[in-house]
Amino acid sequence: MADLQSRVDELHQLLNRYSFEYYVQDNPSVPDSEYDKLLHELIDIEDTHPEYRTPDSPTVRVGGSAQSTFEKVRHNTPMLSLGNAFNEEDLRKFDQRIRERIGDVEYMCELKIDGLAVSLKYENGRFVQGLTRGDGTTGEDITENLKTIHAIPLKIKETRTFEVRGEAYMPRQSFFNLNEAKAKNDEQAFANPRNAAAGSLRQLDSKLAAKRKLSVFLYSVNDFTQFNANTQSEALDELDELGFKTNQERQRVQTIDDVIAYIEHWTEKREALPYDIDGIVIKVNMVAHQEELGFTQKSPRWAIAYKFPAEEVITDLVDIELSIGRTGVVTPTAILEPVKVAGTTVSRASLHNEDLIHDKDIRIGDSVVIKKAGDIIPEVIKSVLDRRPDNAEVYHMPTHCPSCEHELVRIEGEVALRCINPKCQAQLVEGMIHFVSRQAMNIDGLGTKIIQQLYDNEKIKDIADIFYLTKEDLLPLDRMGEKKVDNLINAIEVSKNNSLEKLLFGLGIRHLGVKASQVIAEKYGTMDKLFEITEEDFVGIHDIGHKVAQSVVTYLENEDIRALINKLKEKNVNMTYKGIKTSDLEGHPDFKDKTIVLTGKLYQMTRNEASKWLELQGAKVTSSVTKSTDLVIAGEDAGSKLTKAEKFDTAIWSEEDFVQKQNEIEG
């Protein structure tokens, strides 16, 4: 048996090496047939002797057993989106903002891969969990599917615990092969590689995902305390050394002119790449500068994504329809002759508002130019005047709401028309759709069509009525069988236990986003407490501005809203914050409110364990040493961070000092 174990270990080593050479270095040393022969030998051994099968065996690349669903998992830190730049002016404004705050900076330019953002967690050097971005706060666990991507190492050289993020994508050749196979089977082809990649990673059977031949590029480290890097470029180099696949077309540059030159080069050369890109990402390279610049609620201030100019096509504008959002805003939408734009068929496109329609003289019957903003949202750019027919019709917005007939108003300072009737059907339905959405109460199975049916049948008139629904209310609806109804009733019941921030966001208070809901819920703890808070109190909270404060207070002062909250309470919908309150952490006086940096190799614990322990003591753990750093805990081979700490005369502890202090505190 010792000989067999030795052979298994040898097969692991060989297969991992060959896979790395082929999928990461693009430089195979053996033919595919040799890899396949060794892989089948290992599969045969594991089938005969299951005790030799390990979670990081190369055999997991072929996929395992099918699962019934993907578990939703909260990200340790949010996966934020990037702000966009669409032209040179946007880039120069970004550069100006950076230099006004920081002075001279170095930028890192990277290709923006057109795929699916993923987060990979490693514990003690082993890949343990992979998540989709989801809504940025919560993603789906697609670990088994990600294991089938050969470019993702199942085990790395060092026993580190960390999280790395990147973009899973489908190479163009894999995409062509997949669509060829679909055509042979009379199946609908994927519109583009991005959709194909997303669809592949959401296959419940990982064997199917394995056949799709996806790859990945890693582009960021979640927590720099686990790395020796001081810059984005050093972090990517360190990932290379650990055996990860990063994009090698990256470039460090000194000026915004260099950034623009890099963009121009890849705008011209993008089609020669074996994968799709949809832009260029520009990041401030120094981590210390990144920390100084910080974040908005939605994105980092130190990075921006330049989006390539969108593909433009011409089609006919057949009609203009109006939709009413949950805040009463009336939005005109162009109904188009279906046309293909950037890989998908478009039949509707945004016209934004009445002023835009008139300013651009867009008429019903016109031939119009369509593009996808950011390659995602279709919009009408302009009319083609030399194609205008004689019967083209000038459009006039109605004076009354098409849903409830209430007079439309234009609020001072806004371009949009708005229906201000609180009982407007369209607003109520849209509000309910928002309330059950993933980032809000997350009631799975309660979609737009069901909500519309329930409203039309007078089963629900407000969001609270959702919690009063019975099987008898749901069974008569279209396509609602016994099992589906039971699942929905259960999902509604489960949602009652959501933390307060979910309910707050779900209420649809104007200007109140996900982050602000979280901040307010954590600060005040209960819904009852919020009714007592003044506008001045809200403004005093970091991250809460005047608009949000005013909107929340105005909303909660409404008697109808108070009645709605009481109606929710009667069905035991949770009204308290359930997360960890940072203010509740008593901490320890030696660490509370101190800024601490971990560097070098720790042997008695992982950096992640050390960071979490310090945070529980009330400390703020950062990755860069600055003048404001209170303490540096230096393990073996601490390097430049230790040097910087000595320069700033910052307090320095060894790992032994730190462990001794832990033992003192914990007794």
Strands 72-74 and 138-140: antiparallel
- The mean of the pLDDT values for the chain is 87
Mean pLDDT for 516-539 is 88
- State the binding site for NAD(+): 32-36, 81-82, 110, 133, 167, 283, 307
CB atoms within 10 A of CB 93: 14
pLDDT in tens, 490-513: 999 999 999 999 999 999 888 888
**What letter represents residue 471's amino acid?**
K
| Span 267-305, pLDDT tens digits | 889 888 999 998 999 999 999 899 888 887 778 999 999
Query: Does 112 participate in catalysis according to the annotation?
Result: yes
Neighbours of 186 (CB within 10 A): 6
- Which position has the token pair 């046309």? 339
Query: What pLDDT sits at residue 67?
Result: 66
* pLDDT level of residue 652 (50, 70, 90 thresholds): very high
Question: Which of 413-422, 535-544, 581-590, 631-640 holds the top average pLDDT?
Answer: 631-640
144 pLDDT more than 80: yes
Least confident range of 217-231, 282-296, 415-429, 457-471: 415-429
With residue 106 as reference, give the H or E element that holds it.
none
Over residues 471-485, mean pLDDT: 89
Highest-confidence segment of 37-51, 595-609, 644-658: 644-658
Phi-psi region of 153 (alpha: psi -120 to 50; beta: other; left: phi over 0): beta
Residues 6 or more apart whose CB falls under 8 angstroms from that of 220 comprise: 164, 165, 166, 232, 235
Q: What is the DSSP string of 189-227?
A: PPSSHHHHHHHHHT-SSHHHHHHT--EEEEEEES-GGGS
pLDDT of the residue at 387: 93
Instruction: For the sheet with 126-132, list strands across it.
Output: 126-132, 116-123, 162-169, 215-221
pLDDT: which is higher, 412 or 391: 391
DSSP-derived 3-state class of residue 11: helix
Q: Is the confidence at residue 113, as pLDDT, over 90?
A: yes
362, 351 contact by CB (below 8 A): yes
* Torsion angle (degrees, nearest 10) of CA 444, 450, 456, 461: 0
Task: Give the mean pLDDT of 204-220.
Answer: 89
pLDDT over 70, % of the chain = 95
Instruction: Report the distance separating Cα 218 and Cα 161, nearest Å.
Output: 16
Q: Return the half-sphere exposure (C-beta side, CA atoms, 13 A cut-off) of residue 466.
A: 33
From the annotation, which residues make up the binding site? 32-36, 81-82, 110, 133, 167, 283, 307, 401, 404, 419, 424
Binding residues for Zn(2+): 401, 404, 419, 424
pLDDT of residue 202: 84
pLDDT in tens, 32-64: 778 778 888 888 888 888 888 888 888 887 776
Distance between CA atoms of residues 316 and 339, nearest Å: 9
> Hey, what are 68's tokens?
């019934």
- Beta strand 329-341 with 417-419: parallel, antiparallel or unpaired? antiparallel
- Asked if residue 631 lies in contact with residue 650, where contact means CB atoms within 8 angstroms, the answer is yes
- Helix ranges restricted to H, 231-365: 232-242, 256-269, 287-293, 354-359
**Residue 247 pLDDT exceeds 90:** yes
Nearest-angstrom CA–CA distance, 10 and 168:
29
CA dist., res. 169 & res. 514, Å (int): 28
Out of 37, 72, 93, 112, the active site residue is 112
Question: What would the pLDDT profile of 56-77 be if each residue is shown by its tens digit?
Answer: 888 887 776 666 678 888 888 8
pLDDT band at 586 (very low <50, low <70, confident <90, very high): low
- Pairs from 551-559 (Cβ < 8 Å, separation ≥ 24): 551/509, 551/510, 551/511, 551/512, 552/509, 552/512, 552/520, 555/507, 555/509, 555/510, 556/530, 556/531
Backbone angles phi, psi at 168, to 5 degrees: -80, 135
pTM to 2 decimal places: 0.58
pLDDT, one tens digit per residue, over 368-398 is: 998 876 556 788 989 999 999 999 999 998 9
